[in-house]
Amino acid sequence: MLRTKALTGGPGVGIFDKIRGEFIDIIDWTDDSRDTIVWRFPRYENEIKMGAKLTVRESQAAVFVNEGQVADAYPPGMYTLQTQNMPVLSTLKGWKYGFDSPFKAEVYFVNTRQFTDLKWGTQNPVILRDPEFGMVRLRAFGGYAVRVVEPVALLRELAGTDPQFRTEEVSDYLRQMIIGKLGPAIAAAEVPMLDLVVHQDRIGEKVANALNLELRSVGIEISKFVIENISVPPEVEAAMDKRTQMGVVGDLDQYTKFQSANAIEAAANNQGGAGEGVGIGLGMALGQRAAQPGQPAPQQYQQQPAPQQYQQPAPPQGPPPLPPVEQWFLGSNGQQLGPFDRAQVGQQVSAGILTPDTLVWKAGMAQWTPAAQVPEVAALFGATPPPLPQA
């Protein structure tokens, strides 16, 4: 802003007003943009009057530049510009013995408050080696705050002669530096991918410290650095969701039995033909279980009186349900394979996966048993032809 003092009364007032209009006697800046870091006082070729008032508000600094060379800097306060409080400019100008004439110099106001709500994010994923999942690709985003700590260094290294240096002019530069420091900071933390959320604050502090070491030379610092989220690609998220579902289910065999028990209970509570059909199928399954040595029928089905609807059954509406299909499980190299029906078990024999020493199990067996000791499976080895002789 440009402010001048005016003379009143007397002849030749117009001439003196014109002359005084060329002199600047009040220098200050009120920031209303919220994103301006450096603002150059618009001198418009006018000269600054010796004894002019310089007002530097809180969270501001004023820097005088003479012919492209940084001179005096002023912290917050109100100053009357004299040679005594402009030592560098007086030396550059060669002023001596109380120089009192107007002078030309550029005045830059530097905003030293914190600039918040600045965002960063990884445009491309960061590739890291995880101890559990191996090579993983991570994306991250968050926010940060920046402020000027050395106004003179900022003018020399970044702002230059820009009359209005804004945050957008430095945000891209800072974002590139953040991405360059993020990967090494995560790797140096030596934290598994699934535990990164717990350590986001510590990783963010490391990134901020690494950035400030390099930004010190340009006069700015990262006063706050926040990692809002660290994520993996969608396909990896889908695989992790499947793994979580398996962990919730737990033992797949016990889960299957639990689901079957719920289905039986629901069928028993259902009146009519549907319940009767399920009851017949259940009776056949229990009969097969009781026929196996050492496998008595469950207690809840021993010597229990038949429900009224089973003592006088209605005429059947159709053929009874098919007997349940056998489901075999194999234990090979410490891993559980299956379930397989009887035909698929024969295919495992032909493929060489199922051998007489392979452990097998199906519903109704007390424990895993070598295949050679299970009659139903042992019969498959004799029925499999040997490999053809080589020509």
Other CB atoms closer than 10 Å to residue 89's CB: what's the count? 19
Alpha helices in the chain (DSSP H): 13-20, 87-93, 151-154, 168-189, 200-215, 234-249, 252-268, 273-291, 308-311, 342-350, 375-383
Which is nearest to 52 in space by CA: 105, 97, 128, 127? Answer: 105
| 177, 226: one domain | yes
Number of Cβ within 10 Å of residue 117's Cβ equals 10
Do 231 and 332 share a structural domain? no
Ranges of the chain with pLDDT below 50: 1-20, 286, 290-291, 297, 300-301, 309-310
Q: 341 and 325 in contact (C-beta within 8 Å)?
A: yes
| Rounded CA separation 339/77 (Å) | 83
Reported as a single tens digit per residue, the pLDDT across 6-59 is 333 344 444 444 444 567 889 999 988 888 999 999 876 678 888 999 999 999
Residue 261 is predicted with a pLDDT of 78
To the nearest 5 percent, what fractions of the chain are helix, strand and coil? 40, 25, 35
Q: Give the H/E segment covering residue 56.
A: strand 47-56
Q: Is residue 363 part of a domain?
A: yes
Residue 128 resides in a domain: yes
b/e for 310-343, b at 16 or more Cβ within 10 A?
Answer: eeeeeeeeeeeeeeeeebbbbbeeeeebbbbeee
Q: Which of 176, 159, 192 is nearest to 61 (CA)?
A: 159
Q: Judge if 103 and 204 occupy the same domain.
A: no
The answer to whether residue 208 is domain-embedded is yes
Query: Within 10 Å of residue 19's Cβ, how many Cβ atoms?
Result: 10
3-class DSSP state for residue 350? helix
4 part of a folded domain: no
pLDDT at res. 42:
85
Q: In 3D, which of 79, 69, 78, 61 has the Cα closest to residue 150?
A: 61
**Is residue 139 within 8 Å of 122, Cβ to Cβ?**
yes
Using alpha carbons, select from 115, 100, 43, 105 the residue that is nearest to residue 73. 105
Asked if residue 52 lies in contact with residue 46, where contact means CB atoms within 8 angstroms, the answer is no
Are 204 and 120 in a shared domain?
yes
How far is Cα 71 from Cα 171, in angstroms, rounded to an integer?
A: 27
Q: Are residues 159 and 201 located together in one domain of the fold?
A: yes
CA 147 to CA 59: how far, in whole Å?
A: 10
Question: Is the residue at 191 inside a domain?
Answer: yes
Question: Which residues fall within 8 angstroms of residue 379, CB to CB, at 6 or more apart?
Answer: none
Considering the domain architecture, whether residues 107 and 123 belong to the same structural domain is answered as: no
The distance from CA 120 to its chain's CA centroid, rounded to whole angstroms, is: 12
Q: Indicate if 263 and 230 belong to the same structural domain.
A: no
Q: Specify whether 144 is located in the same domain as 257.
A: no
218: three-class secondary structure by DSSP = helix
Q: Domain for residue 243, yes or no?
A: no
- CATH number for position 355: 3.30.1490
* Residue 342 in domain: yes
pLDDT value at residue 107: 93
Note whether 268 and 368 are same-domain residues: no
Helices (H), 216-251: 234-249
Strand partners, 221: 147
Is residue 350 within 8 A of residue 387, CB to CB? The reply is: no
Residues 155 and 227 in one domain: yes
Tally of structural domains, the chain: 4
Amino acid at 76: P
The residue out of 311, 341, 362 marking a domain boundary is 311
Residue pair 127/137 in contact (Cβ under 8 Å)? The answer is: yes
Q: Last residue of a domain, which of 237, 260, 284?
A: 237
Q: What is the CATH number of the domain that holds 221?
A: 3.30.479.30
Looking at the fold, whether 342 and 372 belong to one and the same domain comes out as yes
Strands lying side by side in the sheet with 106-111: 69-74, 60-66, 106-111, 36-40, 164-166
The 3-state DSSP class for residue 74 equals strand
Q: Within a domain: residue 370? A: yes
Q: CB of 192 within 8 A of CB of 131?
A: yes
Residue 355's domain comprises 328-383
Residues 33 and 100 grouped into a single domain: yes
Domain boundary among 47, 79, 111: 111
